[in-house]
Structure 1
Protein backbone atom coordinates (compact mmCIF):
# COMPACT_ATOMS: atom_id res chain seq x y z
CA UNK A 1 0.00 0.00 0.00
CA UNK A 2 2.81 2.38 0.89
CA UNK A 3 4.56 1.51 -2.37
CA UNK A 4 1.41 2.33 -4.33
CA UNK A 5 1.11 5.71 -2.63
CA UNK A 6 4.78 6.41 -3.25
CA UNK A 7 4.49 5.43 -6.92
CA UNK A 8 1.35 7.56 -7.26
CA UNK A 9 3.10 10.57 -5.74
CA UNK A 10 6.10 10.17 -8.05
CA UNK A 11 3.79 9.85 -11.08
CA UNK A 12 1.93 13.02 -10.10
CA UNK A 13 5.19 14.98 -9.73
CA UNK A 14 6.48 13.76 -13.11
CA UNK A 15 3.17 14.56 -14.81
CA UNK A 16 3.17 18.05 -13.32
CA UNK A 17 6.68 18.74 -14.62
CA UNK A 18 5.74 17.58 -18.12
CA UNK A 19 2.56 19.64 -18.37
CA UNK A 20 2.98 23.27 -19.57
CA UNK A 21 2.51 25.89 -16.89
CA UNK A 22 -0.65 27.92 -17.36
CA UNK A 23 -1.35 30.91 -15.16
CA UNK A 24 -4.95 31.82 -14.55
CA UNK A 25 -6.12 34.24 -17.25
CA UNK A 26 -7.52 37.60 -16.21
CA UNK A 27 -11.29 37.96 -16.14
CA UNK A 28 -13.52 40.90 -16.95
CA UNK A 29 -13.61 43.32 -14.01
CA UNK A 30 -10.07 42.53 -12.92
CA UNK A 31 -7.28 45.09 -12.84
CA UNK A 32 -4.75 44.44 -15.62
CA UNK A 33 -1.86 46.97 -15.61
CA UNK A 34 0.13 45.03 -18.27
CA UNK A 35 -0.81 42.62 -21.02
CA UNK A 36 -0.79 38.89 -20.34
CA UNK A 37 1.25 36.33 -22.31
CA UNK A 38 -0.33 35.81 -25.72
CA UNK A 39 -1.57 39.41 -25.85
CA UNK A 40 -0.16 42.67 -27.22
CA UNK A 41 -1.10 46.00 -25.61
CA UNK A 42 -1.71 49.12 -27.71
CA UNK A 43 -1.91 52.52 -26.00
CA UNK A 44 -4.92 54.76 -26.45
CA UNK A 45 -2.72 57.41 -28.14
CA UNK A 46 -1.92 55.18 -31.14
CA UNK A 47 -2.51 57.14 -34.37
CA UNK A 48 -4.62 54.32 -35.80
CA UNK A 49 -7.31 54.78 -33.11
CA UNK A 50 -9.73 57.47 -34.27
CA UNK A 51 -11.79 59.52 -31.81
CA UNK A 52 -14.96 61.37 -32.77
CA UNK A 53 -16.54 63.94 -30.48
CA UNK A 54 -15.25 65.71 -27.37
CA UNK A 55 -12.20 63.57 -26.59
CA UNK A 56 -8.92 64.72 -25.03
CA UNK A 57 -5.75 62.90 -23.94
CA UNK A 58 -4.81 62.95 -20.26
CA UNK A 59 -1.61 61.83 -18.52
CA UNK A 60 -2.12 60.11 -15.18
CA UNK A 61 0.15 59.70 -12.18
CA UNK A 62 0.27 57.24 -9.30
CA UNK A 63 0.71 53.50 -9.08
CA UNK A 64 -0.37 52.95 -12.68
CA UNK A 65 1.06 55.95 -14.53
CA UNK A 66 -0.17 56.00 -18.12
CA UNK A 67 -2.33 58.03 -20.49
CA UNK A 68 -6.03 57.79 -21.10
CA UNK A 69 -8.36 59.38 -23.63
CA UNK A 70 -11.70 60.64 -22.36
CA UNK A 71 -14.59 63.06 -22.93
CA UNK A 72 -16.31 65.19 -20.29
CA UNK A 73 -19.46 66.38 -22.07
CA UNK A 74 -22.37 64.49 -23.58
CA UNK A 75 -22.55 64.20 -27.37
CA UNK A 76 -24.13 61.79 -29.82
CA UNK A 77 -20.83 61.79 -31.74
CA UNK A 78 -18.66 60.47 -28.89
CA UNK A 79 -17.27 57.28 -30.41
CA UNK A 80 -14.03 55.43 -31.10
CA UNK A 81 -13.15 53.59 -34.30
CA UNK A 82 -10.25 51.25 -35.12
CA UNK A 83 -9.41 48.15 -37.12
CA UNK A 84 -7.17 45.27 -36.12
CA UNK A 85 -5.86 41.98 -37.46
CA UNK A 86 -6.22 39.02 -35.13
CA UNK A 87 -8.67 36.73 -33.35
CA UNK A 88 -9.27 38.36 -29.96
CA UNK A 89 -9.74 41.74 -28.31
CA UNK A 90 -9.65 43.26 -24.84
CA UNK A 91 -10.69 46.78 -23.81
CA UNK A 92 -8.83 48.35 -20.86
CA UNK A 93 -10.55 51.24 -19.07
CA UNK A 94 -11.25 52.83 -15.70
CA UNK A 95 -14.20 51.79 -13.55
CA UNK A 96 -15.93 54.36 -11.36
CA UNK A 97 -19.27 55.89 -10.38
CA UNK A 98 -19.04 58.50 -13.16
CA UNK A 99 -19.47 55.73 -15.78
CA UNK A 100 -23.10 54.67 -15.12
CA UNK A 101 -24.14 54.32 -18.78
CA UNK A 102 -23.47 51.09 -20.71
CA UNK A 103 -20.99 51.34 -23.58
CA UNK A 104 -21.78 49.72 -26.94
CA UNK A 105 -19.06 47.90 -28.86
CA UNK A 106 -19.67 46.82 -32.44
CA UNK A 107 -17.34 44.29 -34.06
CA UNK A 108 -17.85 43.66 -37.76
CA UNK A 109 -21.46 44.88 -37.48
CA UNK A 110 -22.39 42.81 -34.41
CA UNK A 111 -23.08 44.85 -31.25
CA UNK A 112 -23.08 44.21 -27.50
CA UNK A 113 -22.52 46.32 -24.39
CA UNK A 114 -20.11 46.43 -21.46
CA UNK A 115 -20.07 48.33 -18.16
CA UNK A 116 -17.43 50.59 -16.63
CA UNK A 117 -19.40 51.36 -13.47
CA UNK A 118 -18.06 50.65 -9.97
CA UNK A 119 -18.46 52.10 -6.47
CA UNK A 120 -14.77 53.01 -6.29
CA UNK A 121 -12.20 54.24 -8.78
CA UNK A 122 -10.03 51.47 -10.24
CA UNK A 123 -7.68 52.18 -13.11
CA UNK A 124 -6.54 49.90 -15.94
CA UNK A 125 -9.37 47.39 -15.63
CA UNK A 126 -10.25 44.70 -18.15
CA UNK A 127 -13.80 45.80 -18.96
CA UNK A 128 -14.47 43.79 -22.14
CA UNK A 129 -13.06 40.68 -23.81
CA UNK A 130 -13.89 38.92 -27.09
CA UNK A 131 -12.32 35.63 -28.16
CA UNK A 132 -12.77 33.25 -31.07
CA UNK A 133 -12.96 35.82 -33.86
CA UNK A 134 -12.15 34.60 -37.35
CA UNK A 135 -8.48 35.07 -38.20
CA UNK A 136 -8.32 38.25 -40.28
CA UNK A 137 -9.20 41.95 -40.23
CA UNK A 138 -11.92 43.27 -37.91
CA UNK A 139 -13.69 46.63 -37.73
CA UNK A 140 -14.47 47.94 -34.22
CA UNK A 141 -16.65 50.90 -33.19
CA UNK A 142 -17.09 51.86 -29.52
CA UNK A 143 -20.16 54.07 -29.03
CA UNK A 144 -20.97 55.89 -25.80
CA UNK A 145 -24.49 56.69 -24.61
CA UNK A 146 -25.40 60.11 -26.10
CA UNK A 147 -26.37 61.37 -22.63
CA UNK A 148 -23.17 60.17 -20.94
CA UNK A 149 -21.08 63.00 -19.52
CA UNK A 150 -17.92 60.92 -19.20
CA UNK A 151 -16.36 58.09 -21.17
CA UNK A 152 -12.83 56.75 -21.44
CA UNK A 153 -10.37 54.37 -23.10
CA UNK A 154 -7.03 53.37 -21.60
CA UNK A 155 -5.66 50.68 -23.92
CA UNK A 156 -6.46 47.86 -26.32
CA UNK A 157 -5.11 44.31 -26.08
CA UNK A 158 -5.02 42.08 -29.18
CA UNK A 159 -3.21 38.92 -30.27
CA UNK A 160 0.52 38.90 -29.54
CA UNK A 161 1.13 38.56 -33.30
CA UNK A 162 -1.78 40.84 -34.25
CA UNK A 163 -1.63 44.43 -35.46
CA UNK A 164 -3.67 47.59 -35.44
CA UNK A 165 -4.53 48.66 -39.00
CA UNK A 166 -4.50 52.10 -40.57
CA UNK A 167 -8.18 52.96 -40.80
CA UNK A 168 -7.49 55.67 -43.40
CA UNK A 169 -5.64 53.34 -45.76
CA UNK A 170 -7.33 53.35 -49.20
CA UNK A 171 -8.63 49.95 -50.29
CA UNK A 172 -9.38 48.07 -53.51
CA UNK A 173 -7.08 49.99 -55.84
CA UNK A 174 -7.41 48.75 -59.42
CA UNK A 175 -5.45 49.61 -62.57
CA UNK A 176 -6.77 49.18 -66.10
CA UNK A 177 -5.26 49.98 -69.48
CA UNK A 178 -7.42 52.41 -71.48
CA UNK A 179 -6.85 54.26 -74.73
CA UNK A 180 -5.63 57.37 -72.85
CA UNK A 181 -3.20 55.47 -70.57
CA UNK A 182 -3.84 53.63 -67.28
CA UNK A 183 -7.06 54.26 -65.35
CA UNK A 184 -6.92 53.92 -61.54
CA UNK A 185 -9.89 53.54 -59.19
CA UNK A 186 -10.06 53.01 -55.41
CA UNK A 187 -12.54 53.10 -52.51
CA UNK A 188 -13.32 56.40 -50.83
CA UNK A 189 -11.83 57.12 -47.38
CA UNK A 190 -14.18 59.03 -45.03
CA UNK A 191 -12.92 62.56 -44.20
CA UNK A 192 -10.05 62.36 -46.72
CA UNK A 193 -9.16 65.79 -48.09
CA UNK A 194 -6.96 64.40 -50.89
CA UNK A 195 -5.15 61.35 -52.21
CA UNK A 196 -1.59 60.90 -53.45
CA UNK A 197 -1.05 58.73 -56.51
CA UNK A 198 2.33 56.97 -56.39
CA UNK A 199 3.97 55.02 -59.20
CA UNK A 200 6.96 52.72 -59.69
CA UNK A 201 8.37 50.56 -62.47
CA UNK A 202 9.10 47.67 -60.08
CA UNK A 203 6.76 45.86 -57.73
CA UNK A 204 7.16 47.17 -54.18
CA UNK A 205 8.71 50.46 -55.29
CA UNK A 206 10.37 52.76 -54.62
CA UNK A 207 7.33 54.85 -55.53
CA UNK A 208 7.25 58.42 -56.79
CA UNK A 209 4.24 60.67 -56.22
CA UNK A 210 2.89 61.62 -59.64
CA UNK A 211 -0.39 63.34 -58.74
CA UNK A 212 -2.57 64.68 -55.95
CA UNK A 213 -6.30 64.02 -56.35
CA UNK A 214 -8.62 66.39 -54.47
CA UNK A 215 -11.91 65.34 -56.06
CA UNK A 216 -13.09 61.81 -56.71
CA UNK A 217 -11.39 58.44 -56.28
CA UNK A 218 -10.03 57.93 -59.77
CA UNK A 219 -7.09 59.06 -61.86
CA UNK A 220 -5.83 58.37 -65.38
CA UNK A 221 -2.07 58.24 -65.84
CA UNK A 222 -1.43 59.41 -69.41
CA UNK A 223 2.34 59.78 -69.08
CA UNK A 224 3.06 56.13 -69.89
CA UNK A 225 5.09 54.16 -72.43
CA UNK A 226 3.69 51.18 -74.30
CA UNK A 227 5.13 47.88 -73.14
CA UNK A 228 6.23 49.20 -69.72
CA UNK A 229 4.55 47.81 -66.61
CA UNK A 230 3.64 50.43 -64.03
CA UNK A 231 2.91 49.71 -60.34
CA UNK A 232 0.69 52.04 -58.28
CA UNK A 233 -0.32 52.67 -54.66
CA UNK A 234 -2.61 55.33 -53.18
CA UNK A 235 -2.36 57.18 -49.85
CA UNK A 236 -5.00 59.42 -48.28
CA UNK A 237 -4.70 62.63 -46.26
CA UNK A 238 -7.02 62.99 -43.25
CA UNK A 239 -6.56 65.97 -40.92
CA UNK A 240 -3.17 66.62 -42.52
CA UNK A 241 -1.86 63.10 -41.83
CA UNK A 242 -0.85 60.80 -44.68
CA UNK A 243 -2.08 57.22 -44.43
CA UNK A 244 -0.18 54.06 -45.18
CA UNK A 245 -0.23 52.86 -48.78
CA UNK A 246 -3.08 50.94 -50.37
CA UNK A 247 -2.73 47.59 -52.05
CA UNK A 248 -0.51 47.65 -55.12
CA UNK A 249 -2.10 47.55 -58.59
CA UNK A 250 -0.35 47.38 -61.95
CA UNK A 251 -1.01 47.53 -65.68
CA UNK A 252 0.98 47.42 -68.92
CA UNK A 253 -0.25 49.78 -71.66
CA UNK A 254 -0.09 48.45 -75.21
CA UNK A 255 -0.61 50.77 -78.15
CA UNK A 256 -2.82 49.19 -80.85
CA UNK A 257 -0.88 48.66 -84.08
CA UNK A 258 -3.39 50.23 -86.46
CA UNK A 259 -5.66 52.44 -84.38
CA UNK A 260 -5.57 56.16 -84.99
CA UNK A 261 -7.20 59.14 -83.28
CA UNK A 262 -8.89 62.26 -84.57
CA UNK A 263 -8.10 65.09 -82.19
CA UNK A 264 -10.53 67.98 -82.61
CA UNK A 265 -9.62 71.16 -80.74
CA UNK A 266 -12.12 74.01 -80.38
CA UNK A 267 -10.50 77.37 -79.65
CA UNK A 268 -12.21 80.10 -77.64
CA UNK A 269 -12.47 82.03 -80.94
CA UNK A 270 -14.79 79.29 -82.24
CA UNK A 271 -12.25 77.92 -84.76
CA UNK A 272 -11.94 74.12 -84.87
CA UNK A 273 -8.65 72.34 -85.59
CA UNK A 274 -8.63 68.65 -86.50
CA UNK A 275 -5.58 66.38 -86.47
CA UNK A 276 -5.15 62.72 -87.47
CA UNK A 277 -2.67 61.43 -84.88
CA UNK A 278 -1.39 58.28 -83.23
CA UNK A 279 -2.65 57.32 -79.77
CA UNK A 280 0.79 58.10 -78.33
CA UNK A 281 0.69 61.62 -79.76
CA UNK A 282 -2.78 62.25 -78.34
CA UNK A 283 -1.74 60.91 -74.92
CA UNK A 284 1.24 63.29 -74.97
CA UNK A 285 -1.12 66.19 -75.76
CA UNK A 286 -3.52 65.23 -72.94
CA UNK A 287 -0.60 64.89 -70.51
CA UNK A 288 0.60 68.39 -71.45
CA UNK A 289 -2.92 69.82 -71.06
CA UNK A 290 -3.45 68.26 -67.60
CA UNK A 291 -0.01 69.36 -66.38
CA UNK A 292 -0.67 72.91 -67.52
CA UNK A 293 -4.14 72.86 -65.94
CA UNK A 294 -2.51 71.91 -62.62
CA UNK A 295 -0.10 74.87 -62.87
CA UNK A 296 2.97 73.24 -64.42
CA UNK A 297 4.20 72.67 -67.96
CA UNK A 298 4.79 74.92 -70.94
CA UNK A 299 2.33 77.50 -72.22
CA UNK A 300 2.19 75.97 -75.71
CA UNK A 301 2.22 72.52 -77.29
CA UNK A 302 3.41 71.65 -80.80
CA UNK A 303 1.19 69.31 -82.85
CA UNK A 304 2.75 67.70 -85.92
CA UNK A 305 0.49 68.17 -88.96
CA UNK A 306 1.99 65.12 -90.74
CA UNK A 307 0.24 64.52 -94.09
CA UNK A 308 -1.58 67.83 -93.82
CA UNK A 309 1.66 69.59 -94.73
CA UNK A 310 1.55 71.70 -97.83
CA UNK A 311 4.52 72.81 -99.88
CA UNK A 312 8.14 71.58 -99.89
CA UNK A 313 8.46 71.52 -96.09
CA UNK A 314 10.21 68.93 -94.00
CA UNK A 315 7.55 69.40 -91.33
CA UNK A 316 4.83 71.78 -90.16
CA UNK A 317 3.54 72.14 -86.63
CA UNK A 318 0.64 73.93 -85.04
CA UNK A 319 1.42 75.43 -81.65
CA UNK A 320 -1.58 75.25 -79.33
CA UNK A 321 -1.74 77.93 -76.62
CA UNK A 322 -3.26 76.55 -73.42
CA UNK A 323 -5.48 79.50 -72.52
CA UNK A 324 -6.80 79.66 -76.11
CA UNK A 325 -8.28 76.16 -75.95
CA UNK A 326 -11.97 75.90 -75.03
CA UNK A 327 -12.55 72.14 -75.52
CA UNK A 328 -11.05 69.17 -77.32
CA UNK A 329 -12.50 65.88 -78.52
CA UNK A 330 -10.74 62.53 -78.95
CA UNK A 331 -12.22 60.07 -81.49
CA UNK A 332 -10.45 56.74 -81.86
CA UNK A 333 -10.85 54.72 -85.08
CA UNK A 334 -9.27 51.86 -87.02
CA UNK A 335 -8.21 52.81 -90.58
CA UNK A 336 -9.65 50.75 -93.41
CA UNK A 337 -6.92 48.50 -94.82
Structure 2
Protein backbone atom coordinates (compact mmCIF):
# COMPACT_ATOMS: atom_id res chain seq x y z
CA UNK A 1 0.00 0.00 0.00
CA UNK A 2 2.87 2.37 0.82
CA UNK A 3 4.26 1.80 -2.67
CA UNK A 4 0.89 2.72 -4.18
CA UNK A 5 0.71 5.85 -2.04
CA UNK A 6 4.24 6.85 -3.09
CA UNK A 7 3.36 6.38 -6.76
CA UNK A 8 0.20 8.42 -6.33
CA UNK A 9 2.10 11.28 -4.65
CA UNK A 10 4.74 11.17 -7.39
CA UNK A 11 2.14 11.32 -10.15
CA UNK A 12 0.40 14.22 -8.40
CA UNK A 13 3.67 16.13 -8.15
CA UNK A 14 4.47 15.54 -11.83
CA UNK A 15 0.96 16.66 -12.79
CA UNK A 16 1.25 19.84 -10.72
CA UNK A 17 4.69 20.69 -12.10
CA UNK A 18 3.41 20.15 -15.64
CA UNK A 19 0.50 22.51 -15.00
CA UNK A 20 2.91 25.13 -13.65
CA UNK A 21 5.32 24.93 -16.58
CA UNK A 22 2.88 24.27 -19.41
CA UNK A 23 1.90 27.95 -19.63
CA UNK A 24 5.37 28.74 -21.01
CA UNK A 25 4.28 27.53 -24.44
CA UNK A 26 1.64 30.28 -24.43
CA UNK A 27 4.31 33.00 -24.57
CA UNK A 28 2.28 35.84 -22.98
CA UNK A 29 3.02 37.36 -19.59
CA UNK A 30 1.84 40.36 -17.55
CA UNK A 31 3.78 41.55 -14.50
CA UNK A 32 1.81 43.35 -11.77
CA UNK A 33 4.23 45.05 -9.37
CA UNK A 34 4.74 47.60 -6.59
CA UNK A 35 8.01 49.22 -7.58
CA UNK A 36 10.73 47.86 -5.29
CA UNK A 37 14.22 46.62 -6.13
CA UNK A 38 13.07 43.00 -6.03
CA UNK A 39 10.31 43.88 -8.50
CA UNK A 40 12.97 45.40 -10.76
CA UNK A 41 15.01 42.20 -10.72
CA UNK A 42 11.91 40.14 -11.48
CA UNK A 43 11.05 42.35 -14.45
CA UNK A 44 14.63 42.19 -15.74
CA UNK A 45 14.52 38.39 -15.49
CA UNK A 46 11.32 38.22 -17.53
CA UNK A 47 12.60 40.60 -20.21
CA UNK A 48 16.02 38.96 -20.52
CA UNK A 49 14.51 35.48 -20.61
CA UNK A 50 12.22 36.64 -23.40
CA UNK A 51 15.11 38.22 -25.32
CA UNK A 52 17.74 35.50 -25.08
CA UNK A 53 15.91 32.26 -24.32
CA UNK A 54 12.62 32.54 -26.24
CA UNK A 55 10.73 32.98 -22.98
CA UNK A 56 7.18 34.24 -22.57
CA UNK A 57 6.52 37.61 -24.18
CA UNK A 58 5.96 40.38 -21.62
CA UNK A 59 2.89 42.04 -23.11
CA UNK A 60 2.30 44.57 -20.32
CA UNK A 61 3.36 45.80 -16.91
CA UNK A 62 0.75 47.01 -14.42
CA UNK A 63 1.47 49.15 -11.38
CA UNK A 64 0.04 49.27 -7.88
CA UNK A 65 0.84 50.72 -4.45
CA UNK A 66 3.12 48.81 -2.08
CA UNK A 67 6.86 49.23 -1.66
CA UNK A 68 6.30 52.87 -2.63
CA UNK A 69 3.26 54.90 -3.67
CA UNK A 70 1.83 54.27 -7.12
CA UNK A 71 3.20 57.51 -8.60
CA UNK A 72 6.69 56.35 -7.68
CA UNK A 73 5.95 52.84 -8.96
CA UNK A 74 5.03 54.30 -12.33
CA UNK A 75 8.24 56.34 -12.40
CA UNK A 76 10.26 53.30 -11.32
CA UNK A 77 8.72 51.23 -14.09
CA UNK A 78 9.98 53.75 -16.61
CA UNK A 79 13.44 53.58 -15.04
CA UNK A 80 13.47 49.78 -15.21
CA UNK A 81 12.33 49.68 -18.84
CA UNK A 82 14.94 52.33 -19.74
CA UNK A 83 17.73 50.18 -18.32
CA UNK A 84 16.35 47.11 -20.10
CA UNK A 85 16.02 49.13 -23.32
CA UNK A 86 12.38 48.06 -23.60
CA UNK A 87 10.30 51.24 -23.84
CA UNK A 88 7.94 49.29 -26.10
CA UNK A 89 6.43 47.38 -23.17
CA UNK A 90 3.13 49.10 -22.34
CA UNK A 91 2.56 50.36 -18.79
CA UNK A 92 -0.93 50.40 -17.30
CA UNK A 93 -1.30 52.37 -14.09
CA UNK A 94 -3.24 50.70 -11.31
CA UNK A 95 -4.71 51.36 -7.92
CA UNK A 96 -3.02 54.01 -5.75
CA UNK A 97 -4.47 52.59 -2.56
CA UNK A 98 -5.90 49.50 -0.90
CA UNK A 99 -9.58 48.66 -1.26
CA UNK A 100 -10.37 49.62 2.33
CA UNK A 101 -7.39 50.33 4.59
CA UNK A 102 -3.92 51.52 3.63
CA UNK A 103 -0.69 50.72 5.45
CA UNK A 104 2.55 52.68 5.11
CA UNK A 105 5.47 51.04 3.33
CA UNK A 106 8.38 49.76 5.39
CA UNK A 107 10.77 51.55 2.95
CA UNK A 108 12.88 48.41 2.87
CA UNK A 109 14.37 49.35 -0.50
CA UNK A 110 14.63 53.05 0.27
CA UNK A 111 12.30 56.01 -0.08
CA UNK A 112 12.16 55.65 -3.86
CA UNK A 113 12.11 51.83 -3.82
CA UNK A 114 15.25 51.62 -5.96
CA UNK A 115 18.07 52.44 -3.57
CA UNK A 116 17.43 56.22 -3.41
CA UNK A 117 19.31 57.13 -6.57
CA UNK A 118 18.80 60.03 -8.97
CA UNK A 119 19.05 58.39 -12.36
CA UNK A 120 17.21 60.22 -15.10
CA UNK A 121 14.87 58.51 -17.53
CA UNK A 122 13.44 58.93 -20.97
CA UNK A 123 9.71 59.26 -20.23
CA UNK A 124 7.42 56.41 -21.23
CA UNK A 125 3.75 57.39 -21.34
CA UNK A 126 1.19 55.27 -19.56
CA UNK A 127 -1.59 53.67 -21.56
CA UNK A 128 -5.00 55.29 -21.29
CA UNK A 129 -6.72 52.26 -19.73
CA UNK A 130 -6.26 51.57 -16.03
CA UNK A 131 -4.67 48.32 -14.89
CA UNK A 132 -7.89 46.48 -14.01
CA UNK A 133 -9.46 47.32 -17.38
CA UNK A 134 -6.28 46.27 -19.18
CA UNK A 135 -6.07 42.96 -17.31
CA UNK A 136 -9.65 42.15 -18.30
CA UNK A 137 -9.05 43.16 -21.92
CA UNK A 138 -5.88 41.05 -22.19
CA UNK A 139 -7.65 38.06 -20.61
CA UNK A 140 -10.27 38.25 -23.36
CA UNK A 141 -7.84 38.85 -26.19
CA UNK A 142 -5.50 36.06 -25.04
CA UNK A 143 -8.10 33.72 -23.59
CA UNK A 144 -6.40 30.67 -22.12
CA UNK A 145 -2.98 32.02 -23.10
CA UNK A 146 -2.19 34.68 -20.52
CA UNK A 147 -0.13 34.27 -17.35
CA UNK A 148 -0.12 36.99 -14.71
CA UNK A 149 2.63 37.28 -12.10
CA UNK A 150 1.72 39.44 -9.11
CA UNK A 151 4.61 40.84 -7.09
CA UNK A 152 2.77 43.20 -4.74
CA UNK A 153 -0.65 43.76 -3.19
CA UNK A 154 -3.51 42.17 -5.12
CA UNK A 155 -5.63 45.31 -5.50
CA UNK A 156 -5.61 45.36 -9.31
CA UNK A 157 -6.46 41.66 -9.53
CA UNK A 158 -9.30 41.97 -7.02
CA UNK A 159 -10.76 44.91 -8.95
CA UNK A 160 -10.57 42.97 -12.21
CA UNK A 161 -12.35 40.02 -10.58
CA UNK A 162 -15.09 42.26 -9.21
CA UNK A 163 -15.58 43.96 -12.57
CA UNK A 164 -15.63 40.67 -14.49
CA UNK A 165 -16.66 37.46 -12.75
CA UNK A 166 -15.12 35.36 -15.53
CA UNK A 167 -11.75 37.09 -15.47
CA UNK A 168 -9.79 34.38 -13.65
CA UNK A 169 -11.34 31.52 -15.61
CA UNK A 170 -9.91 33.00 -18.85
CA UNK A 171 -6.33 33.04 -17.56
CA UNK A 172 -3.79 30.34 -18.22
CA UNK A 173 -2.18 30.85 -14.80
CA UNK A 174 -1.83 33.46 -12.08
CA UNK A 175 1.22 33.29 -9.81
CA UNK A 176 0.89 35.18 -6.53
CA UNK A 177 4.06 36.15 -4.67
CA UNK A 178 2.52 36.50 -1.21
CA UNK A 179 1.38 34.49 1.81
CA UNK A 180 3.14 32.52 4.55
CA UNK A 181 3.32 28.87 5.47
CA UNK A 182 3.56 28.99 9.26
CA UNK A 183 5.72 26.47 11.13
CA UNK A 184 7.26 26.38 14.58
CA UNK A 185 10.19 28.37 13.18
CA UNK A 186 8.07 30.99 11.41
CA UNK A 187 6.85 33.95 13.47
CA UNK A 188 3.11 34.53 13.46
CA UNK A 189 2.80 37.78 11.52
CA UNK A 190 1.15 39.18 8.40
CA UNK A 191 3.11 38.89 5.16
CA UNK A 192 3.91 42.29 3.58
CA UNK A 193 2.05 41.95 0.27
CA UNK A 194 -1.00 40.61 2.10
CA UNK A 195 -0.91 43.39 4.72
CA UNK A 196 -0.84 46.12 2.09
CA UNK A 197 -4.34 45.09 0.95
CA UNK A 198 -5.87 42.40 3.12
CA UNK A 199 -9.32 42.56 1.54
CA UNK A 200 -7.88 42.26 -1.98
CA UNK A 201 -6.00 39.09 -1.04
CA UNK A 202 -9.19 37.70 0.49
CA UNK A 203 -11.20 38.39 -2.67
CA UNK A 204 -8.66 36.80 -5.00
CA UNK A 205 -7.89 33.66 -3.00
CA UNK A 206 -11.42 33.09 -1.70
CA UNK A 207 -12.52 32.94 -5.34
CA UNK A 208 -9.43 31.11 -6.53
CA UNK A 209 -9.51 28.25 -9.02
CA UNK A 210 -7.21 25.30 -8.41
CA UNK A 211 -6.12 25.00 -12.03
CA UNK A 212 -5.28 28.73 -12.22
CA UNK A 213 -3.76 29.90 -8.92
CA UNK A 214 -0.24 29.16 -7.67
CA UNK A 215 0.91 30.76 -4.42
CA UNK A 216 4.59 31.48 -3.81
CA UNK A 217 5.00 32.11 -0.07
CA UNK A 218 7.83 34.33 1.13
CA UNK A 219 8.55 31.81 3.89
CA UNK A 220 9.28 29.10 1.32
CA UNK A 221 11.62 31.42 -0.58
CA UNK A 222 13.41 32.44 2.63
CA UNK A 223 13.82 28.81 3.73
CA UNK A 224 15.08 27.38 0.45
CA UNK A 225 16.49 30.17 -1.74
CA UNK A 226 18.66 32.22 0.60
CA UNK A 227 21.79 32.67 -1.51
CA UNK A 228 23.37 35.12 0.94
CA UNK A 229 24.72 38.65 0.63
CA UNK A 230 28.27 37.50 -0.12
CA UNK A 231 27.13 35.50 -3.18
CA UNK A 232 24.91 38.38 -4.29
CA UNK A 233 27.75 40.91 -4.12
CA UNK A 234 30.78 38.84 -5.10
CA UNK A 235 29.29 36.57 -7.76
CA UNK A 236 26.05 37.94 -9.18
CA UNK A 237 27.02 41.54 -8.45
CA UNK A 238 30.26 41.27 -10.41
CA UNK A 239 28.53 40.51 -13.71
CA UNK A 240 29.43 43.42 -15.97
CA UNK A 241 26.08 44.27 -17.51
CA UNK A 242 24.02 47.44 -17.36
CA UNK A 243 21.20 45.52 -15.68
CA UNK A 244 23.36 44.18 -12.85
CA UNK A 245 25.07 47.56 -12.42
CA UNK A 246 21.61 49.06 -11.99
CA UNK A 247 20.56 46.30 -9.58
CA UNK A 248 23.65 46.92 -7.46
CA UNK A 249 22.39 50.46 -6.96
CA UNK A 250 18.74 49.47 -6.52
CA UNK A 251 19.59 46.95 -3.77
CA UNK A 252 22.27 48.91 -1.95
CA UNK A 253 19.95 49.85 0.93
CA UNK A 254 18.32 46.43 1.35
CA UNK A 255 21.70 44.69 1.14
CA UNK A 256 22.97 46.81 4.04
CA UNK A 257 20.22 45.48 6.31
CA UNK A 258 21.15 41.79 6.44
CA UNK A 259 23.68 39.12 5.50
CA UNK A 260 20.83 37.16 3.90
CA UNK A 261 19.64 37.56 0.32
CA UNK A 262 16.35 36.00 -0.69
CA UNK A 263 14.26 38.60 -2.58
CA UNK A 264 10.75 37.25 -3.00
CA UNK A 265 9.95 38.79 -6.37
CA UNK A 266 13.13 37.69 -8.13
CA UNK A 267 12.59 34.17 -6.80
CA UNK A 268 8.93 34.19 -7.81
CA UNK A 269 9.69 35.21 -11.39
CA UNK A 270 12.44 32.59 -11.61
CA UNK A 271 9.96 29.94 -10.44
CA UNK A 272 7.50 31.05 -13.10
CA UNK A 273 10.12 30.94 -15.84
CA UNK A 274 11.90 27.74 -14.79
CA UNK A 275 9.90 24.91 -13.22
CA UNK A 276 13.16 23.05 -12.50
CA UNK A 277 13.59 25.35 -9.48
CA UNK A 278 10.40 23.95 -7.96
CA UNK A 279 10.60 21.04 -5.55
CA UNK A 280 7.38 19.98 -3.85
CA UNK A 281 4.02 21.56 -4.65
CA UNK A 282 0.88 20.96 -2.62
CA UNK A 283 -2.81 21.47 -3.14
CA UNK A 284 -4.29 23.71 -0.45
CA UNK A 285 -7.38 25.48 0.68
CA UNK A 286 -5.74 28.83 1.35
CA UNK A 287 -7.79 31.29 3.34
CA UNK A 288 -7.33 34.57 5.15
CA UNK A 289 -8.34 35.70 8.62
CA UNK A 290 -10.23 38.98 8.38
CA UNK A 291 -10.96 39.60 12.05
CA UNK A 292 -9.39 39.51 15.48
CA UNK A 293 -5.75 39.27 16.43
CA UNK A 294 -5.04 37.00 13.44
CA UNK A 295 -6.38 39.50 10.89
CA UNK A 296 -4.32 39.28 7.72
CA UNK A 297 -2.73 35.93 8.55
CA UNK A 298 -3.05 33.25 5.90
CA UNK A 299 -3.90 29.63 6.68
CA UNK A 300 -3.55 26.42 4.65
CA UNK A 301 -5.64 23.28 4.82
CA UNK A 302 -3.76 20.64 2.86
CA UNK A 303 -6.47 18.03 3.42
CA UNK A 304 -9.45 20.07 2.25
CA UNK A 305 -11.60 18.22 -0.30
CA UNK A 306 -11.94 21.20 -2.66
CA UNK A 307 -8.62 23.10 -2.69
CA UNK A 308 -8.50 26.55 -4.28
CA UNK A 309 -4.79 26.84 -5.08
CA UNK A 310 -1.45 25.16 -5.58
CA UNK A 311 1.24 26.30 -3.18
CA UNK A 312 4.99 26.09 -3.64
CA UNK A 313 6.22 24.02 -0.69
CA UNK A 314 9.91 23.38 -1.36
CA UNK A 315 12.47 24.79 -3.80
CA UNK A 316 15.90 23.94 -5.23
CA UNK A 317 18.66 26.40 -4.38
CA UNK A 318 21.28 25.24 -6.87
CA UNK A 319 18.84 25.32 -9.80
CA UNK A 320 17.93 28.88 -8.79
CA UNK A 321 21.56 29.96 -8.57
CA UNK A 322 22.33 28.50 -12.00
CA UNK A 323 19.26 30.14 -13.53
CA UNK A 324 20.16 33.62 -12.24
CA UNK A 325 23.71 33.37 -13.56
CA UNK A 326 22.52 32.08 -16.93
CA UNK A 327 19.99 34.85 -17.47
CA UNK A 328 22.17 37.76 -16.37
CA UNK A 329 25.34 36.48 -18.02
CA UNK A 330 23.54 36.29 -21.36
CA UNK A 331 23.12 40.05 -21.21
CA UNK A 332 26.90 40.55 -20.82
CA UNK A 333 27.67 38.43 -23.85
CA UNK A 334 25.25 40.51 -25.91
CA UNK A 335 26.70 43.83 -24.75
CA UNK A 336 30.22 42.68 -25.56
Superposition TM-score, scaled by structure 2 size? 0.20
Structure with higher RCO (Cα < 8 A, 6+ apart): 2
More strand, by proportion: 1
More helix, by proportion: 2
Superposition TM-score, scaled by structure 1 size? 0.20
